[in-house]
Structure 1
Amino acid sequence: MRDFARSDSPAVQEQLDRLGRLSVPDGRLGLDTIRALLERLGNPHHRLPPVFHVAGTNGKGSTCAFLHAMLEAHGYKVHVTTSPHLVRYNERIRVAGKLIEDERLAELLAQVLDAGEDLNPSFFEVTIAAAFTEFARVPADACVVEVGLGGRFDATNVIEKPAACGIAALGIDHERFLLAPEAGTPEKPLARIAFEKAGIAKSGRPLVTLHYSEEAAEEIERIASDCGAILAMRGRDWTSDSLGNILHYSDPSGEVHLPVPSLVGAHQAENAALAVAMLRHQSLVRISEEAIVTGLRTAHWPARLQRLHAGPLTEEHEVWLDGGHNPSAGDALAQHFEGQRLHLVIGMLKGKDPASIIRPLKANLASVTAVPVPNHDYHPPEAFGRGTQTAASVPEALATIPVGRVPVLVAGSLYLAGEVLRLNGEFPD
């Protein structure tokens, strides 16, 4: 699967076309290629400001958004790399608070692609090498890095001395890669997922986690012990609870009462608390309680239970957008829309399970309309159950839904979410 990046800048598009021609390294495991590429670029990952490194099945992007907002609220300049992009490739590389400019992006991608021409790097390896190269060049106070896939063999895992590592919610996703048979790894699926995510743990550095099932928690504890990481688990080393409009957080340093986060969804309180715990369990970057409060109120993370602004797609409907595509995401959507009727417009990649979204929302659904995921292989309408309608695009789907008080949820794929944001004129900045 490729990310099909597009740009209005001819110079950037030339490099994105080169990225798109890279072969997909199926079956290749390990960090040898990214390390070789970074060495040719002068090992920029050794010269990053303090890094907050975040893994997880769900919520890692939101956790990064909270970290970014809190650190900036303290007055710090912050580098951020997240994936995938929604509308523009530039979203993957935020340099000292701003998306990388087209002119510099074209130069940077050319530099990295030229350096690795004979290494056969992946799309993501080139992206991370480019991000780290720019982050090492431009001064900043902190760096927020989202794991792309898994953790143990993710290209971001070349980071050696992070300020803190964090693991967000765990669930079953990317089974082809993360549950592939391998000697010496856990057999139980959730323990194996935990094993892969905890692979980002580093000796002497905080590894901050949420509360998990027994088999997942035991695996994380084992890995932290083996590598000498300083484990801080929710429920054991820190606690959080949201009640009304207050997020109560406590750890050995004390108790704080914070506002519930601005991001919509009850699950965002857990992501916010994880970000708070990561900041409070590290010592490289000072952070004030005022900055934490401001970050909770201002954090923004598009396509995660996002209500679309006024635009071409919202003239006749209240439209919500979510890029979730696994059972944990489906459960979060069901919790948010509990007791509310919905029209669902859904597009999912072929490798994902349609039931992960359809089953939790079944009691809510007034109608289901299947749409294509542009430039990707996607499930046909019959995959979403009897009575599913079909449309050639999201605008066409919206045109067939009766105008009324029942909101519309567009869900199933971050790639589809990016197309929806583009069509509605909402470009992440």
Structure 2
Amino acid sequence: MLSYLSFWLRRLEQHPLPNIDLKLDRMVHFLDVMGAPHRNIPPAIHIAGTNGKGSTTAFLYAMLGALGLKVHRYTSPHLVRFNERIVLAGEQATDMQLVQGLEQMDGALRDCPLTYFESTTALAFHLFAQYAADVTLLEVGMGGRLDATNVLEKPLCTVITPVSYDHQEFLGTTLYEIAGEKAAIMKPHTPCVVGAQHADAAQHIEEQARRCEGVRLHRLGHEWDYRATSSGGIYYESATMSREFPPPALLGAHQMHNASLALAVMDVLSTTTHPAWCNYAAWDAGMSSASWAARLQRLDATAVHSLYGVDVPVYLDGGHNPDSAMQIAKWITQQGIRPHLILGMHRDKDVKQVLEILAPHCAHIATLTIPDDPKAYDANALAEYARHYHNSVRSCARLNEAMEASKMTESQNSPILIYGSLYLAGYVLGSIDFSTATCCK
């Protein structure tokens, strides 16, 4: 069945449209042909933003699951297997479920071609409508206004995580413009929970809320707030509750924010439309158990030693923009370490600013071309950039060479940080077997 699924996925990749073609008319028409499955999915929470979408979704997923609810989830991109994108009632979609869904969509796809992301989103809607669940978590792919997920008409709640510079060629060159694209997921008479924002982004989000009838914003620093406690937990407060929660399962101060944003969503919904969700013990359990691959994820030591002969901690993060680099730099400082950085990035990312932020915190930098990725920076070109910011840089042809390079420096006992792209993260996880990677607390 795996080979048959691969056949269908290759079919999706061979569509005649550009990989990114932001429009909604194709998607709306296709879904209408398919019987409008997006109107028949379980109640949905729609999540947009630049940084923290996946982690916020992970915390929500864990808390909702701890309540005993069956949760559908759609996220992108996948790291190792396509099945990661679509979770049906708490379980990754099986190859059989995916193949059956694609077979059922095949005729409509021939008549109404979609982009790859549109096709995967349509598949998610199609399967979500077929399988019973209590709630749906729907992550925006890019932007929001013209994203394929924005056919959703009546979500329970919309969420906007921190907005930063990314995909400027499609979303605009200023934070004000980018935030406007993301804020366009707001729907009339639907609450919108907003995380930390730069001033320009916050301005456009508030303007969009005023234009969208009946939207009530729940903004960090206004309607809700949080702070870290001395025990590493989160003290969350709003007009409806004040309470300390346990330390988040995901590493980094930025995960305090993402976990608190998820708490704000639970707070809003449990005090309005879903009072049965107000179960702090379940929220505690979700906070402590959430997992999300490639977000400061500590890789399995046995697997790393077996493959690469490395005996130091190895952390993996799929961040790829200056804001995420800033959060990683804060974590490095808090840990009191100087890691070996293995860096692989896409050519459309702000490599110079990422290096300017991270390089001073690192003992050594090894650059790597992300394998089998036509968008990737060449390792040699990446190394040339890196040498402007660090005096110990090596260009590597393979991951094992980059790992080996860390053992040839004076700081050979320092941990290793692999950073720069979710596609690099997927390659790393695939190389060590996704099932053996562990998300470290």
- The bucket for the TM-score relative to the shorter chain is over 0.9
Point out the structure with the larger helix share: 2
* Two-structure CA RMSD over aligned residues (Å): 1.7
1:28 is displaced (CA, Å) by 3.8
* 1:190 and 2:175 matched: yes
Q: Which segments of 5 or more consecutive residues in structure 2 lack a partner in the other structure?
A: none
Match of 1:186 in 2: none
Aligned: 1:161 with 2:154: yes
The residue correspondences of 1:57-206 to structure 2 (distance < 5 A) are 57-179=50-172, 189-206=174-191
Cα deviation 1:383-416 (Å, max 9, x = unaligned):
3322531222212211232173211111111011
Aligned-pair distance for 1:27? 7.3
Partner of 1:223: 208
Is contact 1:62–1:301 with CA below 8 Å preserved after alignment? yes
Match of 2:315 in 1: 320
Identify the match of residue 294 of structure 1 among 279, 285, 288.
285
Which residue of the other structure, out of 342, 347, 351, is the alignment partner of 2:344? 347
Q: Map Cα deviations across residues 80-130 of structure 1 (whole Å, 9 max, x no partner).
A: 000000000000000001111111211212322431223221111111110
Deviates more, 1:108-117 or 1:67-76: 108-117
* CA contact 1:311–1:425 (8 Å) conserved in 2: no
Q: Which amino acid aligns with 1:91?
A: E
Distance between the aligned counterparts of 2:369 and 2:246, measured in 1? 39
Are residues 420 and 27 of structure 1, via their aligned partners in 2, closer, same or farther at CA, if it must alter by over 3 Å?
A: closer
Residue 399 (structure 2) aligned to one of 394, 407, 416: 394
Tell me which residue corresponds to 2:432: 424
> Equivalents in 2 of 1:139, 1:398: separation in Å?
45
Q: Which amino acid aligns with 1:90?
A: N
Shift of 1:24: 4.2
Unmatched segments (≥5 aa) in structure 1: 1-7, 181-188
Partner of residue 237 from structure 1, selected from 205, 223, 240: 223
Aligned twin of 2:361: 364
> Cα–Cα, structure 1 residues 112 and 276, in superposed 2: closer, same or farther, change >3 Å?
same
Q: Which amino acid aligns with 2:323?
A: S
- Which secondary structure state, in structure 1, belongs to the residue aligned with residue 326 of structure 2? helix
Distance in structure 2 (CA, Å) of the matches to 1:26 and 1:106: 22
What TM-score, normalized by structure 2, do the two folds share?
0.90
Q: How many residues were matched structurally?
A: 414
Contact kept, 8 Å, 1:69 with 1:299, in 2: the verdict is yes
How much does 1:29 deviate? 3.3
Alpha-carbon spacing, 1:24–1:175, altered in 2? closer, same or farther (3 Å): farther
Aligned partners of 1:401, 1:332: CA distance in 2, in Å? 23
Contact kept in structure 1, 2:19 and 2:115, CA below 8 Å: no
Q: Which moved more, 1:109-118 or 1:314-323?
A: 109-118
**SS at 1:125 equivalent:** helix
What one-letter code is carried by the residue in structure 1 that aligns with 2:371?
Answer: P
Shift of 1:251: 1.3
CA contact (8 A) 2:301 2:313 kept: no
Query: Residues of 1 paired with 2:381 and 2:109: CA distance?
Result: 43
- Partner residue in 2 for 1:280: 267
What is the SS of the residue equivalent to 2:285?
A: helix
Specify the alignment match of 1:3 in structure 2.
none
Establish whether residue 261 from structure 1 lines up as the match of residue 261 from structure 2.
no
